Amino acid sequence: MGGPARGERSLAARRRGVLMATLAAVVLLFGGVQVASAALPGEKAVGGGAVEIDDGPMYRTSVRLPGEGWSKELHSRAATSDGKVFTRGGTRLEAMSVEPPGDRRADARELWAGLGDVLRTRDREIRLAEPAPVRSEQGVQGLMGATSGGERDYLAVIYPSPSHTSAAQLLISSEQGAAGLGGEADALAATAVVFTPKGKAHD
């Protein structure tokens, strides 16, 4: 007569064990990865030179980081999912590659308006000023302008790729705010983006 009761008790114990093991596994996987990630350095030094941000069908898009001392932020997220964030001193550079959907041409003016919207997804108050034309060292025409109204001031730059199938976007900011966006930001805007046609080495 004690059989079924004992059976029920042992089943209840096994179910309790399964519950505890499952919750422990969830906590271990979720918490363990977070703790391990937080314990490691939040940035990684990157050597000077070009860092690839997109490997498209026609062009490889890279950012050239001038001089030494740049680090890649490992926990910060850029405005787009594949964007990368670099820092040096008080300067912060978000480098992204975007590809308009379908057969849509990457038009600088259109992408400028789009970038304004994308920035507002993380800061509702931010506004992009009317852009000015900019020409990269590589000879690519783009647009450049400043943001205002947000928690952080940016110098924004857009360069459509020569094939107009994608575009590179830069967001440069400084710990010193708008006042810190001086010569280094302008230099980055003009020299950082490099489009390399497929089949050729980096410039």
Partner 1 sequence: MTKDRRASTRTEDTAAVPTPRGPAAVALNGATAVRADADPPAGSATARAALAAIGLICAGGLTIVAIDEAGIAAVFPAAAATAFGLCALTLLLGYGLLRRARPVRPPGAAVSLAAVAWGLFGATGLALPTNNAIDALLANSGLNGRAAEGWGVLLRGPVTEELFKLAGIVLLALAFARALRGPIEGFVIGALVGLGFQVAENFYFAITAVVDGGGVGGMGAAVGSVLLRVVLTGVGTHWALSALAGTAVGLMAANAWRIDGWRVPTALLLVLAAIVLHTSVNAPVFTAGMGVGYKALFNFAVVTAVYFVLRHCFRRRVRAALADEAGSSGLDPGEAAALARRGGRRRMLRAAPKADRGILAKFQERLVDAAEDRALLARD
Work out whether 120 is an interface residue with partner 1 (CB under 8 A): yes
Work out whether 144 is an interface residue with partner 1 (CB under 8 A): no
Q: Are 172 and 195 in contact (CB under 8 A)?
A: no
- Size of site (CB under 8 A) for partner 1: 58
The site map against partner 1 for 23-52 (x = CB under 8 A) is x-xx--xx--xx-xxx-xxx-x------xx
Q: Which residue is associated with the tokens 């314990």?
A: 39
Select the residue interacting with partner 1 from 50, 118, 140, 187 (CB under 8 A). 118
Specify burial of residue 93 (Cβ count, 10 A radius: 0-12, 13-18, 19+).
buried
Give the DSSP H or E segment for 194: strand 193-197
* Six token digits for residue 62: 């890279």
Q: Are 171 and 189 in contact (CB under 8 A)?
A: no
Residues that bind partner 1 (CB under 8 A): 4, 7-8, 11-12, 14-19, 22-23, 25-26, 29-30, 33-34, 36-38, 40-42, 44, 51-52, 72, 74-75, 77, 79-82, 98-102, 104, 106-107, 110-111, 113-118, 120-122, 124, 167, 169
